[in-house]
Amino acid sequence: MTDRYQQFARSGVGRQIVRRLGLPNPVPLRRFSPDQTAIDGPALVGGNGRLGDTVASVLKALGAEVADGERYGALVFDATGIDEPAKLRELYDFFHPVMRRIGTCGRVVVLGTPPEGDSRAAIAQRALEGFTRSVGKELTRGATAQLVYVAPGFEAAAESTLRFLLSAKSAFVDAQVIRIGTLGGQSVEPEDWDKPLRGKVALVTGASRGIGASIAEVLARDGAHVVALDIPAQGAELSEVANRVRGSSLQLDITAQDAPAELVRYFTERHGGVDIVVHNAGITRDKRLANMSDGAWDSVIAVNLSSQLAVNDALLDADVLRANGRIVGVSSIAGIAGNNGQTNYATSKAGVIGMVDAYAPVLAARGATINAVAPGFIETKMTAAVPLFVREAGRRMSSLAQGGLPVDVAETIAWYASPASGAVNGNVVRVCGQSLLGA
Ligand SMILES: NC(=O)c1ccc[n+]([C@@H]2O[C@H](COP(=O)([O-])OP(=O)(O)OC[C@H]3O[C@@H](n4cnc5c(N)ncnc54)[C@H](O)[C@@H]3O)[C@@H](O)[C@H]2O)c1
């Protein structure tokens, strides 16, 4: 959908008005394309900790120049060496002189140790969150800031996450806190980082349009065979998507009583198992609670939550989810912040976060992972139907001052799905441009 305000703000006269009145200035975000460099400009690395070698090897693999520059494509600070609050000053010393030299759509990544226990070190590490989220709010021109907590012993396992966050694939992910290795996990380096999902079979529900279609495209781009699932009424659009990604289509209502058994049968017979399951199908039936019908409540909980638990249990009980398997949920910032007129939807989406919390240890014990994305305002048919004023507020009330695209959600899911993300488990990452809602 067209963002007319963004077009206006980029025009000659619009640019001046936006600057004079101090209005939001949404710059076009740099998104992944195979023929551009991963990082747009030199990288500057600081801090003294356990992750120096990993950072150096990732920057080298991404072809980044580590040097002084006029404008930086990335600033990476290894804060794992900060073991008492006074040493937080190192953040100031590193970032203060270069904050104005972060390039358009530049990347800031702070690395820390999960703040567990009662030590001074844990207190100092917890403090990194306030720093990173504030930097996210201060950055302009599409630049983003993230904090990654890496458990000791999982330094090498941080590679897939660093590649994702430093690249244009994380365009709409901003001010997030990601935990690696806190539940263990094994990361498997792909033979080809451009096709990390080669040989994998992925199920994407609700794949006939919107975010689901984009997830199917990105997982297929990364090498997976995608089974695109949607309700029979969406059959024509579903076949189009499946053909486009050279995958298969499966017409099924995931709330049907026999859907879990049908999926077990389908993946066992056709593929001998499944590697990646993306629970993307979701519906809204908005009404204030006082006016809501019981059907609106029941259908939203059934599609957005209960059916997903039933599918997970069936796939796990029948051992259809293969070793190093991935389950990904699609929550929403409405599930974090709550939303007027969406008690049913927000309940279901908060439940998706509960699903991640509950299943993460279970999947860790099987060498698999479960994580979720929580999209903010994404430009789709769903958000095109929102009244203009609410739509504009949704777009601008974020650090990036614009809506995201379905591909932004899809790229985040592809990072979770990578065999190299085996130690990324139990996370809920917002894809929201640091929306103020629920933050
Ligand atoms: N668009 C946004 O801004 C946004 C924000 C936060 C979260 N989300 C979530 O992202 C996901 C995708 O959203 P979208 O905007 O692409 O929505 P969409 O309505 O365009 O697509 C959802 C798809 O799910 C399918 N579906 C619905 N019920 C189903 C069922 N019982 N069985 C199988 N398939 C079913 C629909 O037919 C549809 O193709 C949803 O879970 C949504 O809640 C979207």
Q: What is the DSSP string of 184-230?
A: B------S-TTSTTTT-EEEEESTTSHHHHHHHHHHHHTTPEEEEEE
Rounded to whole angstroms, the Cα distance separating 218 from 413 reads: 9
Could you tell me if residue 23 is inside a domain?
Answer: no
Report the pLDDT value the prediction gives residue 9, as an integer from 0 to 100: 77
Last-in-domain residue among 180, 213, 244? 180
pLDDT in tens, 334-377: 999 999 999 999 999 999 999 999 999 999 999 999 999 999 99
| CB-CB neighbours of 183 under 10 Å | 19
Please report where in the chains the tokens 């040989």 appear, as a residue.
199
Taking CA atoms, 276 is separated from 226, 265, 312, 415, in Å, by 9, 16, 11, 12
Encode burial over 315-336: b for 16+ CB neighbours within 10 A, e otherwise: bbebebbbebbbbbbbbbbbbb
Rounded to whole angstroms, the Cα distance separating 323 from 319 reads: 9
Could you tell me if residue 226 is inside a domain?
Answer: yes
Report the pLDDT value the prediction gives residue 15, as an integer from 0 to 100: 72
Q: Are residues 349 and 382 in the same domain?
A: yes
Q: Are residues 175 and 208 in the same domain?
A: no
Position in ligand 1 atom list of the atom nearest CA 281: 24
If you average pLDDT over every residue of the chain, what do you get?
95
- Ligand 1 atom 38, closest CA: 206
- The CATH number covering residue 275 comes to 3.40.50.720
| CB-CB neighbours of 180 under 10 Å | 27
For 29, which DSSP code? P
Q: Are residues 249 and 299 in the same domain?
A: yes
Encode burial over 103-115: b for 16+ CB neighbours within 10 A, e otherwise: bbbbbbbbbbbbb
Range of the domain at 46: 31-180
Q: Which residue has the higher pLDDT, 111 or 381?
A: 111
Position in ligand 1 atom list of the atom nearest CA 255: 31
| CB-CB neighbours of 149 under 10 Å | 25
**Best probe residue, ligand 1, of 249, 278, 280, 305 (max atoms within 8 Å of C-beta):** 280
Could you tell me if residue 107 is inside a domain?
Answer: yes
Exactly one of 5, 72, 345, 359 is catalytic; name it.
345
Distance from residue 206's CA to the centre of ligand 1 (Å): 6
% of the chain surpassing 90 pLDDT:
88
Position in ligand 1 atom list of the atom nearest CA 378: 3
- Ligand 1 atom 23, closest CA: 206
**Best probe residue, ligand 1, of 211, 237, 257, 280 (max atoms within 8 Å of C-beta):** 211
Single-letter residue type at 132: T
pLDDT in tens, 299-310: 999 999 999 999
Q: Are residues 342 and 404 in the same domain?
A: yes
Could you tell me if residue 19 is inside a domain?
Answer: no
Report the pLDDT value the prediction gives residue 1, as an integer from 0 to 100: 61
Ligand 1 shell residues, CB under 6 Å: 205-206, 208-212, 230-231, 234, 253-255, 280-283, 303, 330, 332, 375, 377-378, 380-383
Nearest alpha carbon to residue 384 among 373, 395, 375, 374: 395
Distance from residue 280's CA to the centre of ligand 1 (Å): 6
Nearest alpha carbon to residue 379 among 404, 413, 399: 404
pLDDT over 70 (residue 223): yes
Could you tell me if residue 24 is inside a domain?
Answer: no
Beta bridge partners of 252: none
- Ligand 1 atom 5, closest CA: 375
**197 token code pair:** 């999902």
What 3-state DSSP class applies to 124? helix
For the question of residue 345 being annotated catalytic, the response is yes
Distance from residue 30's CA to the centre of ligand 1 (Å): 25
- Ligand 1 atom 42, closest CA: 282
pLDDT over 90 (residue 10): no
Report the pLDDT value the prediction gives residue 7, as an integer from 0 to 100: 78
**Best probe residue, ligand 1, of 257, 303, 382 (max atoms within 8 Å of C-beta):** 382
Q: Are residues 167 and 210 in the same domain?
A: no
Could you tell me if residue 195 is inside a domain?
Answer: no
Could you tell me if residue 158 is inside a domain?
Answer: yes
Q: Are residues 133 and 231 in the same domain?
A: no
Q: Are residues 205 and 176 in the same domain?
A: no
Q: Are residues 87 and 216 in the same domain?
A: no
**CA-based Rg of the chain, rounded to a whole angstrom?**
21
Could you tell me if residue 174 is inside a domain?
Answer: yes
Nearest alpha carbon to residue 202 among 286, 122, 273: 273
Q: Are residues 238 and 328 in the same domain?
A: yes
Q: Are residues 241 and 335 in the same domain?
A: yes
% of the chain surpassing 70 pLDDT:
98
Q: Are residues 166 and 275 in the same domain?
A: no
Distance from residue 50's CA to the centre of ligand 1 (Å): 41
Last-in-domain residue among 148, 180, 212? 180
Beta bridge partners of 147: 110, 177
Report the pLDDT value the prediction gives residue 13, as an integer from 0 to 100: 73
Distance from residue 375's CA to the centre of ligand 1 (Å): 12
Number of domains in the chain: 2
Taking CA atoms, 175 is separated from 172, 245, 340, in Å, by 10, 32, 25
Q: Are residues 342 and 275 in the same domain?
A: yes
pLDDT over 70 (residue 18): no
What 3-state DSSP class applies to 101? helix
Single-letter residue type at 364: A
Report the pLDDT value the prediction gives residue 17, as an integer from 0 to 100: 64
Distance from residue 304's CA to the centre of ligand 1 (Å): 9
Position in ligand 1 atom list of the atom nearest CA 403: 3
Rounded mean pLDDT, 81-101? 97
pLDDT over 90 (residue 185): yes
**62 token code pair:** 């991404």
Distance from residue 282's CA to the centre of ligand 1 (Å): 4
